[in-house]
Chains A and B, each alone.
Chain A
Amino acid sequence: MATNTIDSSSGYRVIGTRPIRPDGVDKVTGRAKYGADYALPGMLHGKVLRSPHAHARIKAIRFERALKLPGVKAVVTGKDLPEGENKSVPLGEMSVNPRYLGHNILARDKALYQGHAVAAVAAVGLHIAEQALELIEIEYELLPPVMTVDEAMANSAPILDPELRNEEQGDEPTNIAKHTQLKRGETEAGFKSAQTVVEREFRTAMVHQGYIEPHNALATYGSDGRATIYCSTQGPFEVRGMSAAVLGVPVGSIKVVPAEIGGGFGGKTTVYLEPLALLLAMKTGRPVKMVMTRAEVLRASGPTSGSHIKVKMGCARDGKITAACVWLAYEAGAFPGSPVAAAAMTVLAPYAIPNVLIDAYDVVVNRPKTAAYRAPGATNAAFAAETVIDELAERCGIDPLEMRILNGAREGTPHPAGPPYRRIGFIETCEAIKNSPHYRSELNGANRGRGVASGFWFNAGMQSAAMVNIHADGTASVVTGSPDIGGSRASCAMIAAEVLGLEAEEVRPVVTDTDAIGHTDVTGGSRVTFATGMAVFQAAEDAMRQLKERAAKLWECKPEEVEFRAGKFFAKGNPDAPITIKELAKRLPRTGGPVSGRATVNARGVGPAFATTCIDVEVDLDTGKVEILRCTVAQDAGRAIHPAYVEGQMQGGTAQGIGWALNEEYVYDAQGRMLNAGLLDYRMPTCPDLPMIETIIVEVPNPGHPLGVRGVGEVSIVPPPAAVANAIYRAVGVRLTELPMSPPRVLKAILTHSGQPSATAWS
């Protein structure tokens, strides 16, 4: 059962309660409108023709026959897009290389992965558009595919982009887009002072976010040059900026209307269909709707990197870690930009280690361009580091949680890549697991084991805007530009309700379009309840300040003499009875007109998140299949605004982490064709694959946020793969170093360990 270690002295009235989510009724009745649910009169359907080859030169595209098919209104290819600048330009949170982005939307001279968009069609019906794709002829010259970082980094590797250079290799063409190094202290000396050193090598497979709703976009374009894009996205302002960049049109000419979004997990922070739908709308003058199939989602959206990782770590006799070296190479996909730099900055972040050397390589391969996935980069790296720490703990005879507490980062510990931490809750998450009914229980039965692991994520601040409008009846609306992927509307409404003395149900949250609210960065980085929540808090305070002014007008006193307590406005020495916000709202017209609070922030004071997870497994010795028996996750939320949705984030991230651990992977053949581009063979956990996921919300308030919020969306995905690996070790004595830990891999490790080199040796 979920437990909540909330500081009960917090004195909040709404925050920390569990009201029904404001978007709930629409979602249980089928009324909620997602991107694919939009339709407009005269609408055309667009489809994309994709490269069947992983690496090929595009010699010619002939689409005349497709254009002649009755009902086909337009065909576009890479030639219809302007060539973007080949340099990084800032775009909200992230920076974008317009050339790479544009080439990913529609290939130019080369197809760089199977599924790479080569042409797009708009037709009067979906099935006609599909038929038209079959009439487009493309002449390819096949090139050897480069599928892994090892292949791509080899000296003789085929080069994906002949123009790609990195700082270290001068003018030599390369597949290594970037090498980053983090260094502190002297690792050689650190290893010399170690009593135990463990050095291991790891590989992890490319995995997908697996949101259930495929990408979608509906675009309109008017003769006035104004465009509207309806889509399910985590970042409407990013869609606007990126679409403008790809199409070479002014940012202000595009309005993006964020529809309800069916999961994102980072994968809907960039564009695929949006600029294409708009390009086709510009060509035809009609609305164009595009929706990906599941195979397109898997092949041609942005999964996260597979990786090759090496970790060397040493500790003294007492368990204190003296030095760590980490080498990370991450698949970027077809264009530069893997999350390897984030991996470098997270991999050792939970620990105080005096001597550290981290090398990180961003490597292009003939796979889809990776996109963000929940704590991008951190999970792969934690799988490696957290199993090595487990091994060190075992060699030193220390409990794995004690090992983490002994070495754990606290307030003042310098982050490996930055300044010392302010107040953080890592140790508290370890203690919470240590004291949990789960960890204190005995695990009995053959081939069962218990593993723990921890994870770190930065969390993010960035830009947000909010408005709080007071209605005539004293209720309120809170307007933001942050699409809600996990319950942030509920938390924004609750924050405003807390400030205004209203019930959560009396505040209606609205996520509006890019014309109706100030620039708001992407829903990502666990930032919405933190940063947009901060803007909402300030906007509500702004509304409250205005309300006090109005009360002061009524009572002919100074605004600072008005107080708001227990839902009522008072003024010192005022003979009139105190009034509620509802009574005051009625008098707004006569005291100066409507009250609308506003705030914009570029939020500082981000508080990092930590999670520690405990997992029990049972391993089938004959098949290598791993069953998850029990799972508990403890995470520092800072402050849980709506605990049920904090738990929901913890449970969802943990489930994704378990899927990543056990069975999820991109499987390619030698030609670079993905063999499992469907939800039957890309095996995400189903309901019978998981136990209940127990949660412990730890609340170590973030000193940088008015309510102590840290952000809870991501970090829970980080520990599970390592926790599962550590549990498997304790169950059957083998250390797995590759993800996924699928039955064939586990069985092979078991058989090798037990002296049977292979399953067929005795047959």
Chain B
Amino acid sequence: MTKELIEATINGEPVEFLCEPRQSLLEVLRDVLNLTGTKEGCLTGDCGACSVILDGRVVCSCLVLGVEVAGGAIETVEGLAEGTHLTELQQTFLEDAALQCGICTPGFLIAAKALLDSNPDPSETEVRYALAGNLCRCTGYDKIVRAVMDAAALMRQRQSSSSSAKQGREA
């Protein structure tokens, strides 16, 4: 078993780890780096519980080899909040009761973040299709979709108030 030394950035921090080529990024995160917030649900890319953002794109970490991420930047659920300050998405998931057992929640938060990063004002249909790779068996998706749309609204509000504040300063 030859292990390779891989350098990458995880949640903004430079990280080095040793891994065998056959270890997936998911395995590296959970078993090597002890970042167990990213979940294993199927190992075939069908449930989305292991979703992470790799170089700006949401992917299933079960279908990425650890050795493939050399030099890459990875964002996981552990990196969403700044200290104890939750993001709008995390907050609306709590307020809208968008989680029950919670095993799919990290994947949904990551997939939803990826969506809102590129589309700040998605329609319900857009939200549903963007989350199609994430299975939830507890909620029937209703409250999840509402939470994502509510978070989007909050984020737009924050952006417009910060840009109008900026404009105010400039004026």
Contact = CB atoms under 8 A, between A and B. Distances in A.
Contact of B139 (A127, A209, A648, A688): A648
Chain A contact patch, size range = 35 or more
A10 to B, nearest CB: 21
Interface stretch (A29-37, A142-150, A175-183): A29-37
Contacts of A44: none
B38 A30 contact: yes
Contacts of A262: 39, 41, 101-104
A24 B35 CA distance: 18
A31 B37 contact: yes
Given A25-B94, A655-B140, A212 B135 contact: yes
A408 to B, nearest CB: 26
Contacts of A28: 77, 80, 86, 90, 93-94, 99, 102, 105, 109
Contacts of B127: 687
Contacts of A34: 36, 39, 103
Contacts of B86: 25, 28-29
B137 A265 contact: yes
Interface in A212-271: 212-214, 260-265
Interface in B39-79: 39-44, 46-47, 49, 76-78
Nearest to A681: B46
Contacts of B101: 211-213, 260-264, 485-486
Interface string A24-65: 111111111110110100000000000000000000000000
A685 B102 CA distance: 18
B142 interface: yes
Contacts of A648: 97, 100, 138-139, 143
Report, as a range, how many residues of chain B touch the other chain: 35 or more
Contacts of B142: 651, 690, 692-693
B140 A212 contact: no
Nearest to A654: B140
A680 B138 contact: no
Central interface residue in B96, B105, B137, by most chain A CB within 10 Å: B137
B128 A39 contact: no
A294 B94 contact: no
Residue among B35, B47, B97, B139 with the highest chain A CB neighbour number at 10 A = B97
Contacts of A690: 140-142
A655 B40 contact: no
Given A27-B102, A28-B109, A680 B140 contact: no
Interface in A167-216: 209-214
Highest count of chain B CB atoms <10 Å: which of A214, A261, A687: A687
A684 B100 contact: no
Interface stretch (A15-23, A513-521, A735-743): A15-23
B43 A294 contact: yes
A652 interface: yes
Contacts of A210: 135, 137
A263 B103 contact: yes
A687 B144 contact: yes
A580 B113 CA distance: 44
B141 to A, nearest CB: 5
B5 interface: no
B38 to A, nearest CB: 7
Contact of B95 (A20, A23, A211, A486): A20
A686 B44 CA distance: 16
Contacts of B138: 263, 486, 648, 652
Interface centre among A28, A678, A688 (most CB of B within 10 A): A28
A316 interface: no
A644 interface: yes
Contact of B100 (A291, A486, A679): A486
Contact of B47 (A27, A127, A679): A679
A438 to B, nearest CB: 14
Interface string B116-138: 00000000010111011111111
A645 interface: yes
Given A680-B46, A692-B145, A27 B99 contact: yes
Nearest to A694: B142
A32 B90 contact: no
A213 B107 CA distance: 13
B100 A652 contact: yes
A30 B35 contact: yes
Contacts of B40: 36, 214, 291
Interface centre among B37, B104, B106 (most CB of A within 10 A): B37
Interface in B4-42: 20, 22, 27, 30-31, 34-42
Contacts of B96: 644
Contacts of B77: 28-30
Contact of A656 (B90, B125, B137): B137
A758 interface: no
A166 interface: no
B53 to A, nearest CB: 14
A487 interface: yes
Query: Nearest 9 pairs between A and B by C-beta?
Result: A30-B37, A262-B103, A655-B140, A27-B102, A651-B140, A644-B97, A679-B46, A30-B77, A37-B36
Given A39-B31, A679-B44, 12 more contacts: A39-B34, A209-B137, A262-B101, A294-B41, A647-B97, A651-B142, A684-B137, A685-B140, A687-B134, A687-B136, A688-B125, A690-B142
Interface of A: 18, 20-21, 23-34, 36-37, 39, 126-127, 209-214, 260-265, 291, 293-294, 485-487, 644-645, 647-648, 651-652, 654-656, 678-680, 684-688, 690, 692-693
19 contacts: A18-B97, A28-B105, A28-B109, A29-B80, A127-B22, A210-B137, A212-B39, A212-B136, A265-B137, A293-B43, A644-B143, A648-B100, A648-B139, A651-B139, A655-B139, A678-B42, A679-B46, A684-B137, A687-B134
